[in-house]
Amino acid sequence: MSALTHFDAAGRAVMVDVGAKPETAREATAAARVVMRPETLRMIVEGAARKGDVLGVARLAGIMAAKRTAELIPLCHPLPLTAVTLDLAPEGEDAVAITATVRTTGRTGVEMEALTAASIAALTVYDMCKAVDRGMRIEGVRVLAKSGGKSGDFAQD
């Protein structure tokens, strides 16, 4: 396992200097899942939520969050994102599956942006439906894949 890069020799938190790294195409995909009662999912699918289009609003929230990741997570570099896509879809009878893919050409990866997008989209689903289902659970937030950069490609199921 490699050493942690966000600490200096004295153990102080630092922002990693990526200035000498070459710019490369970078992509990361992250996922999350919101588990709920079947009737809550039906309400979402039928467009009957009192707050409006749950999946559409959550998609926009995820895109906005990806663009603001450096403001939310200390030591993240602000990145010029070239694309952010979010897919939100019913999964089975009691869940919404969320997949966020983020792209840039830069000196550091976009895993945190993809994770932030998926997480905020999941939180938005919860927020928009909590009045009818406070027992919803957000699960499985994880990086599914990343490409580009010195460390190469990574993928998991």
Q: Specify whether 127 is catalytic.
A: yes
Number of DSSP helices (H) and strands (E) in the chain, helices first: 4, 5
Residue 38 CA from chain centroid, whole number: 24
Which stretches within 34-74 are classed as H helix? 38-46, 54-67, 69-72
Catalytic option among 8, 53, 87, 127: 127
* Cα dihedral 1, 23, 155, 88 sign: positive
Active site residues: 127
